[in-house]
Amino acid sequence: MVLITVLTPGINQPLFFLRGAASTYACGVHQNGLLCHLHWGNSIAPNASLAGRLDKDVLAFSPEHRRPQPAVGKSGHDVLSYEYPVANTGDFREPALDILHADGTHGLRLLYSAHRVIAGKPALTGLPATYAETAAEAETLEIDLRDARESSAGGGLIVTLSYTVFAGRDVIVRSTRITNHGTAPVTLTRALSASVDLPGNRFDLLTLPGAWARERWVERGPLRSGTQFTGSRRGASSHQDHPFFALLAPTAGETQGEVRGFSLVYSGNHQGGAEVDQMFNTRALLGIHPDGFTWHLAPGETFQTPEVVLAYSQAGLGGLSAQYHRLYRERLVRGVWRDRERPILINNWEATYFDFTADKLAAIAKSAGAIGVELFVLDDGWFGRRNDDTSSLGDWFTDAAKLPAGLGDVGHRIQAEGLRFGLWFEPEMISTESDLYRAHPDWCLHIPGRARTEGRNQLVLDFSRPEVVDAVYAMVAKILREAPIGYVKWDMNRHLTEVGSASLPAERQGEVFHRHILGVYAFAERLVTEFPEILVEGCSGGGGRYDPGMLYYTPQVWCSDNTDAIARLRIQHGTSIVYPPCTMGAHVSAVPNHQLHRTTPLRTRGHVALAGQFGFELDLIDLDATDLAEAKDLTALAKRTRHLLRSGDHHRLLDPNTGNVAAWMLVAPDQGEAMVTAVLALAEPNWRLQPLRLRGLDPKALYRGVHGPAGEWTGDVLMELGLPLTALKQDFQSCLWHLRRV
């Protein structure tokens, strides 16, 4: 990692080069003072003569910039490649920033004013972010741009662009701060985190859209002229639209080709995508969705955007995923659980739903303990008077009718079976049928005079209000202090409507979406600070808030409410584009499956769950002796292989979207061990599956199958000729190999 600034000859303006392991990001100050983009891609050497490349000729119908002396002529606003494009200056493409001034006009013109280089990576106040553990592992460049308006006319804005480059990685982390140094308040009407102007339009856009129970399916298609955006206005990153996209060379595949990724470290509304302009160049942008967003910035105040992680790879989508996996596993997830192997758990949700007693829970724990499970999670239904989903959210005290001896008693009975105890919460929600709602009907998000739209019979608490966050935290923390709890499942089961806050003035109502998420983060920060030993698993009706923002607080996330092994293949495949398998909660559930009514073999359900943090979501008492023995074997296998999940490199081998077999593998960092899984969705008549070619092994090493079909193979044979898939013959069959270097 090196970061160099060179001065442009003649005009003494800086050029900036941020150098990753095998990539370079470069930008520089145009002779007219605008900060322009130069390059993001393969490594190039810092070179002052590249300053000339910042300039672009004027076009017909393009507003002009007169070039200062000594240069002559003009450059076109509408064609320059900007680092952070703004509205109403003659660049008619999608802006990253727009501001409404006190005089009712909008827009700004940003000119370079200063820069500095900081060792390490400064934290973002109130926001989750990637981090550097030492000053030596990252460098941050900050560039100040100032609004060129005269201060007598309301100028005085400074926009600071932040770029962090990490040693040995090909990621650039960008965010933006906007500070009002003027004398009048202004209103931000859009403030995206980052924008990159790339030459040409020959890109495929890859996104991860979905829905409840089918999150993050991969979609890919060529860019067209105009804008192509993905975005959430739901107040959450959501099942439907994911805060990530990639731009791929059309020929790029899983293992080859140039790919650029854009991932937003944020859990609320987002918008991202690309615009292809009239000259067939591409602008990529990502940040908080401008719809429903305004921010009142009084003199002296600063607005901080969330950060975007830009990743670059010439080794295809697999290479891009490897960049994200390593960074998110090592420098986004934090706390003691970052480096610990996670417990094998059993969750009672699909076993009992709301209908349980302490005896029933203890019986499930006993049967789970007998096969080696380490943690029992009591899901929804233990609090208030909650026997279905119509009541009690917000009443975080034990349901005395259901659990008369209290939660502490349940916890101790679970512990007596040799398991740790985990508990479900949904802190951001309130049922109208609750003590909390009766006491504080104005604590939910609402707009006076409008009906309060319910989702799953519940309303959303107004976490933009610190007193609401405090009150809910006090209830949750009391439970965690009193009962022997080692794990929390943090759920969130509806999206935001009637987004208004009873505590904010009119000019700040546009801030509620973002302030709400800041409140969620403040709650999370308190939780992980007071209870550092508790493992927190994120959840939102499955994977509706599986994003880098939440991963900063919750090292693993329940990947989907869809526990069908075959449906999970596409969900887990799409999730792995950005997120390492160690962050993915995956459980074996009962058959017929509760979401799809499909029956698959227990072994296949287990092999698919072993792709993530392994657990069970069923009543083991219902299993026959054969399946129980299989469940015990799977649990033992999960324990033998979970170190691979923690630190191994993940490879997608066969894509369930394009064939009837899905396959993936994890390889230990020293290449001494690997776990390979293949699942056949539907068998075909008179068909022979091709051998499965592996990746990432030591070609010279001899590997022995210590689990799965027996055999010994050299790494080169496994990678060039492949593993035979002859065992896969029937629908829903799977095969898992655990390979060890001999």
147 as an active site residue: the answer is no
633 as an active site residue: the answer is no
CA separation for the pair 663, 669 (Å, rounded): 20
Q: Which stretch binds ligand DGJ (CB under 6 A): 138-146, 315-323, 436-444, 536-544?
A: 536-544
Q: Is 531 in the site for ligand DGJ (CB under 6 A)?
A: no
Q: Which is nearer to ligand DGJ, 424 or 552 (CB)?
A: 424
**Shortest separation between residue 712's beta carbon and ligand DGJ, angstroms:** 42
Question: Of these, 163, 266, 558, 664, which contacts ligand DGJ (CB under 6 A)?
Answer: 558
CA separation for the pair 295, 192 (Å, rounded): 12
Q: Is 493 in the site for ligand DGJ (CB under 6 A)?
A: yes
CA separation for the pair 495, 731 (Å, rounded): 37
**Shortest separation between residue 574's beta carbon and ligand DGJ, angstroms:** 18
Q: Answer whether 435's CB lies under 8 Å from 495's CB.
A: no
Q: Is 382 in the site for ligand DGJ (CB under 6 A)?
A: no
Q: Is 424 in the site for ligand DGJ (CB under 6 A)?
A: yes
Q: Which stretch binds ligand DGJ (CB under 6 A): 215-223, 413-421, 528-536, 539-547?
A: 539-547
Q: Which is nearer to ligand DGJ, 535 or 718 (CB)?
A: 535
CA separation for the pair 340, 330 (Å, rounded): 12
Of 684-713, binders to ligand DGJ (CB under 6 A) are none
Q: Is 91 in the site for ligand DGJ (CB under 6 A)?
A: no
Which of 197, 561, 619, 627 is catalytic? The answer is: 561
**What string of H, E and C letters represents the secondary structure of 664-729?**
EEEECCCCCEEEEEEEECCCCCCCCCCCECCCCCCCCCEEEEEECCCCEEEHHHHHHCCECCCCCC
Tell the residue number behind the tokens 């994977």, with chain if given: 543
**Half-sphere exposure of residue 115: CA atoms within 13 angstroms, side-chain side:** 24
Q: Is 215 in the site for ligand DGJ (CB under 6 A)?
A: no
Q: Is 561 in the site for ligand DGJ (CB under 6 A)?
A: yes
Q: Which stretch binds ligand DGJ (CB under 6 A): 95-103, 307-315, 363-371, 537-545?
A: 537-545
Which of 197, 277, 395, 491 is catalytic? The answer is: 491
Q: Which is nearer to ligand DGJ, 558 or 737 (CB)?
A: 558
CA separation for the pair 572, 656 (Å, rounded): 10
**Shortest separation between residue 561's beta carbon and ligand DGJ, angstroms:** 5
Question: Of these, 131, 166, 266, 349, which contacts ligand DGJ (CB under 6 A)?
Answer: 349
Backbone angles phi, psi at 703, to 5 degrees: -110, 140
**What's the length of the chain?**
742
Q: Is 616 in the site for ligand DGJ (CB under 6 A)?
A: no
Q: Which is nearer to ligand DGJ, 490 or 737 (CB)?
A: 490
Q: Is 542 in the site for ligand DGJ (CB under 6 A)?
A: yes
CA separation for the pair 491, 505 (Å, rounded): 30
What is each CA distance from 55 to 40, 79, 543, 654, 704, in whole angstroms? Answer: 17, 9, 45, 45, 59
Tell the residue number behind the tokens 């890919």, with chain if given: 220
Q: Is 564 in the site for ligand DGJ (CB under 6 A)?
A: no
Answer left, alpha or beta for residue 198, where phi above 0 means left and psi between -120 and 50 means alpha.
beta
From the list 651, 578, 580, 649, the residue with the least C-alpha distance to 246 is 578
Q: Which stretch binds ligand DGJ (CB under 6 A): 113-121, 239-247, 538-546, 573-581?
A: 538-546
C-alpha 658: how far from chain center? 24
Residues that bind ligand DGJ (CB under 6 A): 349, 379-380, 424, 491, 493, 539, 541-542, 558, 561
Q: What are the catalytic residues? A: 491, 561
